[in-house]
Amino acid sequence: MQTALKAATIGPRGANPLVGSILVDERGRVLAAGHHRGAGTYHAERDCLASALAAGITDFSATKLYTTLEPCTHYGRQPACTDLITEAGIPTVLIGARDPSTNGGGVEVLRSRGTEVVDGLLRKQCEQLNHRWNRAVKEDRIFVTVHLAQSIDARIAAADGTSQWITSETSREHTHRIRQRVDAILVGTNTVTTDDPRLTARDERGALTPGQPLRAVMGRSEIPDLAQLTQGRPEGEGWIHLRTRDPLTALRTLAETQHNGHPVKHVLVEGGQSVLSAFFAADLVDEIFVYTAPLILGTGRASLTDIGVTTLAEARRYTLDAADGGPTTIMNNDVCIHLQPEPKGAH
Ligand SMILES: NC(=O)c1ccc[n+]([C@@H]2O[C@H](COP(=O)([O-])OP(=O)(O)OC[C@H]3O[C@@H](n4cnc5c(N)ncnc54)[C@H](OP(=O)(O)O)[C@@H]3O)[C@@H](O)[C@H]2O)c1
Ordered DSSP codes for 145-185: EEEEEEETTSEEE-TTS--TTSS-HHHHHHHHHHHHT-SEE
User: Which residue's CA is minimally distant from atom 37 of ligand 1?
Assistant: 219
The residues assigned a catalytic role are 45
CA of 220 relative to ligand 1 center, distance in Å: 11
State phi, psi for 287 to the nearest 5 degrees.
-155, 140
Who contacts 336 (Cβ-Cβ below 8 Å, separation ≥6)?
171, 174, 289, 290, 291, 292, 328, 329, 330
Q: Which of 29, 137, 17, 7 is nearest to 70 (CA)?
A: 17
CA 163 to chain centre: 25
**pLDDT (0 to 100) of residue 111:** 97
Q: Is 4 left (phi over 0), alpha (psi -120 to 50) or beta?
A: alpha
Beta partners for 186?
216, 269
Coil, helix or strand at residue 135: helix
263 phi and psi angles, rounded to 5 deg? -70, 150
Nearest CA-CA partner of 145 in 254, 243, 228: 254
Per-residue pLDDT of the chain (347 residues; tens, 9 = 90+): 999 999 999 999 999 999 999 999 999 999 999 999 988 899 999 999 999 999 999 999 999 999 999 999 987 777 899 999 999 999 999 999 999 988 899 999 999 999 999 999 999 999 999 999 999 999 999 999 999 999 999 999 999 988 888 999 999 999 999 999 999 999 999 999 999 999 999 998 999 999 999 999 999 999 999 999 999 899 999 999 999 999 999 999 999 999 999 999 999 999 899 999 999 999 999 999 999 999 999 999 999 999 999 999 999 999 999 999 899 999 999 999 999 999 876 66
Beta strands across the sheet bearing 64-69: 30-35, 20-24, 64-69, 92-97, 116-119
Q: Tell me the CA distances in angstroms from 27 to 23, 33, 62, 85, 328, one per residue in order.
A: 11, 16, 10, 20, 37
pLDDT score for 347: 63
Contacts 24+ apart (CB under 8 A), 27-33: 30/3, 31/55, 31/57, 31/63, 32/57, 33/3, 33/4, 33/7
User: Residues 118, 92: contact at Cβ < 8 Å?
Assistant: yes
> In which residue ranges of the chain is CATH 3.40.140.10 found?
2-130
Residues of the chain with CATH 3.40.430.10: 141-341
Task: Please state which architecture CATH assigns to domain 2-130.
Answer: 3-Layer(aba) Sandwich (3.40)
CB atoms within 10 A of CB 34: 27
Task: Report the atom number in ligand 1 closest to the C-alpha of 167.
Answer: 1
Ligand 1 environment, Cβ below 6 A:
149, 156-157, 161, 163, 166, 187-191, 194-195, 218-221, 245, 270-275, 278, 301
Question: What digits encode the pLDDT tens for the residues 206-221?
Answer: 999 999 999 999 999 9
Atom 34, ligand 1: residue with shortest CA distance: 274
Distance CA 197, CA 304 (A): 20
pLDDT at 40: 84
Best residue among 163, 165, 190 to mutate for probing ligand 1, ranked by most atoms within 8 Å of CB? 190
Going by C-alpha positions, the residue among 183, 161, 171 that lies closest to residue 290 is: 171
Instruction: Tell whether omega for the bond before 165 is within 30 degrees of 0, i.e. cis.
Output: yes
Contact present, 34 and 68 (Cβ < 8 Å): no
Is 191 annotated in a binding site? The answer is yes
- The answer to the question of whether 273 is labelled as a binding residue is yes
- Per-residue pLDDT at 161: 87
**Alpha-carbon span 85 to 61, nearest angstrom:** 11
Pairwise CA distance, residues 214 & 291, whole Å: 23
CA 290 to the chain's CA centroid: 14
Which ligand 1 atom sits closest to the C-alpha of 149? Answer: 3
DSSP string, 229-265: GGTTPPTTSSEEEE--S-HHHHHHHHHT-EETTEE--
Which pLDDT belongs to residue 112?
A: 97
Is the Cβ–Cβ distance between 189 and 183 less than 8 Å?
no
Q: Is 43 annotated as a binding residue?
A: yes
Tell me whether residue 48 is annotated as binding: no
* pLDDT score, position 102: 86
Q: Fold for domain 141-341?
A: Dihydrofolate Reductase, subunit A (3.40.430)
Query: 80, 73, 60: which is closest to 109 by C-alpha?
Result: 73
